[in-house]
């Protein structure tokens, strides 16, 4: 199927695969569900531990947390790790403060 799409668009297969892998980062998540950045800077600053805690205990922040998702970079690498909820961005989230 991808090969046919590449031929139809007159581009190579690698270009099609790169587009398919890149654009899911722009999918709009449910804006009321928390999204924790798990890209490199946030990951190195403890985002994985925070993500695991929030997945294990959805009640920590509220009902919406049951659908906590991993997010691609949100552009606040200087303040990693970053948690987005609705239109709010929470920076420098610390795992130790999560019960």
Q: Give all domains of the chain, ordered by start, each with its CATH number.
A: 1-28 (no CATH), 31-97 (3.40.30.10)
Confidence of residue 43 (pLDDT cuts 50, 70, 90): very high
Angle ∠(18,21,22) on CA atoms, nearest 5: 80
Q: What pLDDT does residue 65 have?
A: 46
| This prediction's pTM | 0.62
The separation between the first and the last C-alpha atoms of the chain, rounded to the nearest angstrom, is: 48
pLDDT at 34 over 70: yes
Collapsed DSSP state (helix, strand, coil) of residue 41:
helix
| Two tokens, residue 19 | 């587009």
More confident of the two residues 1 and 97: 1
Q: pLDDT digit string (tens) for 45-91?
A: 999 999 988 888 766 666 544 577 888 888 889 999 998 887 788 89
Phi then psi dihedrals of residue 15, to 5 deg: -65, -45
């Amino acid at each position: 199927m991808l090969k046919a799409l590449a031929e139809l668009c007159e581009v190579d297969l690698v270009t099609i695969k790169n587009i398919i892998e890149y654009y899911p980062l722009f999918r709009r998540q449910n804006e009321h569900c928390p999204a924790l950045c798990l890209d490199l800077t946030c990951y190195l600053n403890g985002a994985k531990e925070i993500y695991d805690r929030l997945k294990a205990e959805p009640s920590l922040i509220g009902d919406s947390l049951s659908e906590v998702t991993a997010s691609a970079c949100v552009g606040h690498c200087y303040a990693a790790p970053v948690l987005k909820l609705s239109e709010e961005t929470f920076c420098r989230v610390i795992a130790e403060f999560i019960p």
